[in-house]
Amino acid sequence: MKSSKVALVTGGSRGIGAAIVQRLARDGMRVAFTYATKRDRADQVVNEVAAGQGQALCLEADAADPTAIAAAVERSVEVWGRLDVVVANAGVARAGGIDALAAEDIDRMIDVNVRGVVHTIRAALPHLGDAGRIVTIGSVNAERTPFAGAAAYAMTKAAVAGLVRGLARDLGPRGITVNNVQPGPTANDSMSPDGPAAQAMTKWLALPRIGAPEEIAALVAHLVGPEAAFITGASLTIDGGFTA
């Protein structure tokens, strides 16, 4: 059934973000999404949504730039007249020990994974009405980090989980729900489902495979739908048993 709702997804040109854009559009929402680089990838997502009779709008904005993110939010509202759903998906990962990573790499993760989420939500809040939905895309590494070199990344995702708990209290009186989706190992541009990296990851999973972006998108779709109206402040793990 078609919906009149409008969603904004940050980092929506590839991977989990693109799957979320496509799923919400298929569910009938008009979806704006941001991308930082590679306009051709963003255009491809727009075209795929249009092929399915959906509507999508791509907006260039680096999640680490509060001004650019605020402009993307304003443009979304200008084009479609409202904003009902925000999915803060944009994120970056850099592997290495705290003493080995360049300071710029650590700062970039904090800027995108933490500050970017905060500023996306701050910009969206004036436009979200009662019963608005906010979803962040965190990581299972906020709860479990079974390998070396992920401390800084895990720190940023743990911060997001804490932010969500606090925001659920702040925004509950307005009827706005705030939840955090924590994917485990999931297929992306650098890890195909049957490639060597994915096969190496399966030793940590209860299920003998890594996840698909569409599976993460399905959980997000549930959280922004009417049947999830009583879920808020939660970090929901979807990880094939990574934390089992």
Q: CATH classification of 6-238, choosing from 3.40.50.720, 3.90.320.10, 1.10.40.50, 3.90.79.10?
A: 3.40.50.720
- For residue 174, give the nearest of 138, 121, 113 by alpha carbon: 121
Q: What is the pTM of this model?
A: 0.96
pLDDT tens, residue by residue, 102-152: 999 999 999 999 999 999 999 999 999 889 999 999 999 999 988 899 999
Mean pLDDT of 87-99: 95
C-alpha span between 127 and 137 (Å, rounded): 21
Residue 1 has pLDDT above 80, yes or no: no
pLDDT tens, residue by residue, 174-203: 999 999 999 999 998 878 888 888 888 898
Catalytic-role residue among 33, 35, 80, 153: 153
pLDDT at 190: 78
Mean pLDDT of 18-38: 97
Query: What angle, rounded to 10 degrees, do the helices at 213-223 and 15-26 form?
Result: 50
Q: Respond yes or no: is residue 153 known to be catalytic.
A: yes
How is residue 185 written in tokens? Answer: 């190992």
Of residues 65 and 190, the one with the higher pLDDT is 65
Q: Are 160 and 113 in contact (CB under 8 A)?
A: yes
pLDDT tens, residue by residue, 199-234: 888 989 999 999 999 999 999 999 999 999 999 999
Q: What percent of the chain has pLDDT over 70?
A: 99
CA distances 11 to 38, 45, 122, Å, are 11, 12, 17
